[in-house]
Structure 1
């Protein structure tokens, strides 16, 4: 895997550190996305999906 080095000024380093130490409140769109993700991911499989996926072959 290749990486890239980003050089930040002292001012930018302080901004990054401050943002990590005291992150801003999430905006409404992010809150909605998190809620929607939970609804989708935590939703049980439908009967059609259960027929499509052989649950006996899934690792335990």
Structure 2
């Protein structure tokens, strides 16, 4: 999972957001993607970075 990346459906589940919310973040360039064997995937590190940026400040 770490090197290959995960599907966009799995990424939405991991972030606990709707797929449309994930796609919006992807379109805005907030989460980088990669192409693997003709499929778009997101790395675990990219998801962790996105979560850290979206975490509310206390």
Asked if TM exceeds 0.5, the reply is no
Normalising by the smaller structure, the TM-score range is under 0.3
Find the structure with the greater CA-based Rg: 1
TM-score normalised by structure 2 residue count: 0.28
- Where is the strand percentage greater, Structure 1 or Structure 2? 2
Give the number of the structure with larger relative contact order, counting CA–CA contacts within 8 Å between residues 6 or more apart: 2
